[in-house]
Amino acid sequence: MDLSNLVALAPMLDKKAYAELTHQKIAAVEHQILNGILPTVQPRMGRTGKGSKVYINMALLTKKCLEAEDNAEEWEMTSW
């Protein structure tokens, strides 16, 4: 699967889509979200301004990966 254009096509993924893409269980993805490992975004909807669904912020995740790419120590110690 060619992932080179993934962020351009999907800057946000819901938990289920991210779990399928990364071959993880949804519970594992939820755990990573709760521990701050995966960056998330929750768009505000409607007049109340309350968000509904939580999405993985693939654009920010890609940015962090690219920034860490040149530093092996940072990869080992990263806890986004």
Render pLDDT for 28-78 as a digit per residue (tens, 0 to 9): 999 999 999 999 998 877 676 666 789 999 999 988 888 877 676 655 665
pLDDT of residue 43: 83
CA–CA dist 74, 52 (Å, integer):
33
Residue 63 C-beta-side C-alpha neighbours within 13 Å: 8
pLDDT of 4 > 60? The answer is: no
pLDDT mean over 9-23: 91
pTM comes to 0.70
Q: Which is more confidently placed, 13 or 1?
A: 13
Q: Which amino acid is at 27?
A: A
| Angle at 15 (CA atoms; ends 54, 21), nearest 5 degrees | 145
